[in-house]
Amino acid sequence: VFVTLLLIVVALAIFTVPPFITQVASLVNQEPALRGRLVKFLATYPLTSSLADALQHVEYSALFKSYSAQAVAFSKTLFEIVAYGAGAFFLALYIMIDRDRLRGALFAIIPRAHHIKLSRIMLHLETIVGGYVRGQVVTCAMMAIFLFILLTACGVTNAIAIAAFGGIADVLPFVGIFLTMIPAVLAALAVGSGAATVVFVLLLCYEEFESRIVIPLVYGRSLRLPSSIVLFALIAGGTLYGIGGALLALPVAAALLMLIDELKVELPGEMMQPEEMDVKHSDIVGEAEYLRRTDGMTAEAAAEIALEISEQQKLKEGDKPS
């Protein structure tokens, strides 16, 4: 699997990186012309004429000097994010490669009576993480493809570079579309004000389509979350913890709901539903089978048995009509 993914990434890099670098260099060379077109466009309207004057006389050296401290702070933060991301990636890779031994170590410190429930929780967590990653890949790929088609149809010559940037920026909730819109609209201005207006309006429409339909549909299915919970989790995570909170809101919400469902406590007088009674009976049977089959086994071997029983229970639950 890893070799296949590596070959796919290398092939994509071979076909996209050279034109990407060429188009980025072209965008940099076209900056004066793009700025001139934007100045003319803003100068035609009284409300934006002051912005046109400021943009026409902008001096990049003065801007770099005035914002150098902020740039250093931002670059430090960006480096930390990249470092944490790389660390998380290699940690996840290590866990996937050596997961049997790590799972055995975890099972060794947990009482055997809880091994079936623990293995089922781990299976659900794998499903949540895998669904979230697949959802990110789908939404980012959709944004990149849409942006490439839109810019190509509008006659923009730097479509690959901007589409790749848009696909990467789409990982960031709320702000990704605005980061994408700036270079896309500026590049479309090189074609004409009409093309820039079309790109701006269609990107806004796509953002509404993605946030209201694509994200609830994709993540709702993969993470088994209702659409209302998806939207609420994104808003709450972004409000409380910024971009990072919004980025992790969906897997955290899915994990919390799963843990509440798996670790729920029966309250006095609470009536159990028929499906809950079936799950409880399945747990009792599974735990009895697990204790019988793992008598005298090591924790690592017992973990394999627990995972096998949990997978069988999960398949049986999936076969039941909802």
Same domain, 132 and 230: yes
Same domain, 250 and 127: yes
Looking at residue 219, its pLDDT comes to: 81
Tell whether 108 is covered by a domain. no
Digit-coded pLDDT (tens) for 81-138? 667 666 766 766 666 667 777 777 777 888 877 788 888 888 888 888 888 888 888 8
Which amino acid type is present at position 211?
S
Q: How many domains does the chain have?
A: 2
Tell whether 306 is covered by a domain. no
Whole-angstrom distance, CA of residue 18 vs CA of residue 184: 20
Looking at residue 269, its pLDDT comes to: 60
Looking at residue 152, its pLDDT comes to: 93
* DSSP summary character for residue 272: P
Q: Which of 236, 263, 290 is the last residue of a domain?
A: 263
Q: What is the CA radius of gyration of the chain?
A: 26
pTM: 0.68
Looking at residue 198, its pLDDT comes to: 93
Minimal CA–CA distance to 206: which of 127, 107, 139, 296?
Answer: 139
Same domain, 133 and 232: yes
Walk along the chain (322 residues) and give the pLDDT tens digit of each residue: 556 666 776 776 676 677 767 766 777 787 777 778 878 877 887 777 788 777 777 776 766 666 667 767 766 766 776 676 667 667 666 666 677 777 777 778 888 777 888 888 888 888 888 888 888 888 889 999 999 999 999 998 778 888 888 888 888 777 788 888 888 888 888 788 888 899 999 999 998 898 888 888 888 777 878 877 887 888 888 788 777 787 788 888 888 888 887 776 565 666 666 666 776 777 777 878 888 888 878 777 888 888 888 888 777 765 454 4
Minimal CA–CA distance to 161: which of 172, 170, 148, 149?
Answer: 148
Whole-angstrom distance, CA of residue 101 vs CA of residue 82: 28
Looking at residue 322, its pLDDT comes to: 40
Domain that holds residue 222: 118-263
Sign of the four-CA dihedral 187, 190, 196, 199: negative
Same domain, 10 and 136: no
Tell whether 162 is covered by a domain. yes
Q: Which of 223, 246, 263 is the last residue of a domain?
A: 263
